[in-house]
Structure 1
C-alpha cells in the first residue's frame, strides 16, 4: 500500500508514479525511475475489480512509451518469482530474464526482466 509520505519521499529520490483512474478512483499504479541502465519500473498494481480489463497491459505500453520519450534504451523491472500474471505480462510484451533470480528482501525472490526499446515501439503484444 502506498502512503502519501512514502510517495513524496520516492518522488524526491527521482521516482515517477503513474496511475489510472476510473470514475475518480485510482485503479492502477506503478512507479518508474530513469537510471543509467534504462527505465526501471516496479510495484505495478491493479485493483482486483479491474483485473483482466487490459489495464496492466495499457500500463506496460505507457511504460515503454515513456522510456522512448526520455531516450532510454531499455525498460527493466523485477517480478516476484512464481507471480504468474507478472511473468505472463513479461512474455507478452517481449521482456526476457536478465540475470539470475535473487532475494530482494528476506524470503522474497525476484527475477529481473528487460526489454530493449526502439523508436517505433510495437504496441502489439506477442501472442501468448
Structure 2
C-alpha cells in the first residue's frame, strides 16, 4: 500500500496544531496507533478520517473528503463515475486532483483544459 504524500503532510499539519499524535488521534476519535499506521502505510486512512484530519489542520474538510474518496476508488468503474460527478467541482474550487494523467483526462472531454490543468499541477 503506498502512502499519499499529501496524507503525511496533512498528518504533520494536524499534529503541529494539536501538539502531538495522541492529541490528533483523540480529536478525530481514533487510536494513536492509527496515525502511525497511516504514516507507514500499513493501514489505509478512510475518507472520513481524512476529512476530520483536514478540519483539525484548519483546511477545507469537504475538499479533502472528496479527494480521498476519489483516490480510494481510483481505477474502478465506481471511481470513474465519481471522477465525472465530483472531479470538476474540485478543479473549479482550486483543489489539485490526487492524480493526473489518464484519470484526469476522464474528467474532461476538452483536451486543452486537461493540458492546461497538467501545466498548473507541474
Query: After TM superposition, is the score higher than 0.5?
Result: no
Higher helix share: 2
Larger Rg: 2
Q: Which has more strand, going by share of residues?
A: 1
Q: TM-score, normalised by structure 2?
A: 0.36
TM-score (norm 1): 0.35
